[in-house]
Amino acid sequence: MATQIFVNLAVKDLNRSVAFFTKLGYTFNPKFTDEKATCMIISDTIYIMLLTETYFQTFTKKEIVNAHKAVECTIALSADSKDAVNEMVDKAAAAGATIPNPASDYGFMYQHSFEDLDGHHWEFVWMDPNGAPEHQG
């Protein structure tokens, strides 16, 4: 069985976040959705749990990071092409995301990112399978 990953993100307004990510083409598992949380499906093995801040706080004694002011992580996902990277970032911008930086093209790799409505940093990356430099070391 393949390992699955469930990334948990705190959100201020669950319905607003669901509407935002729906505009990006994502769907949600109704079995793991209620007024406190939802399970966004990225792929057969990758899921994003969007949890209200109050509910998220029940899992930790630490302060929840304000992603508009600090970064805890970057969620990086692969894309099938440079165009697919740009399409996703364009959809996010149209849905209200912030675009913190222009796209970066390294020849063998192309990436672009956005910050969602809660400030979480998402990055989409296309890598040329024939162009990646060999690792020295």
Retrieve residue 42's tokens.
């990225």
- Range 55-60 average pLDDT: 96
- Range 47-61 average pLDDT: 97
Mapped onto helix, strand or coil, the DSSP state of residue 53 is: helix
With 90 as the cut, is the pLDDT of residue 72 above it?
Answer: no
Q: What is the mean pLDDT of the chain?
A: 94
**How far apart (Å, rounded) are the C-alpha atoms in residues 26 and 48?**
10
Distances, alpha carbon 131 to alpha carbons 44, 66, 136, in Å: 27, 37, 15
Torsion of CA 90, 71, 22, 79, to 10 degrees: 60
Tokens 């935002």 locate to: 20
In one-letter notation, the amino acid at residue 14 is L
Q: What domains does the chain contain, in order, with CATH numbers?
A: 1-61 (3.10.180.10), 65-137 (3.10.180.10)
pLDDT band at 98 (very low <50, low <70, confident <90, very high): very high
CB 18 within 8 A of CB 117: no
With 90 as the cut, is the pLDDT of residue 15 above it?
Answer: yes
Question: What's the pLDDT tens digit per position in 88-97?
Answer: 999 999 999 9
pTM of the predicted structure, to 2 decimals: 0.90
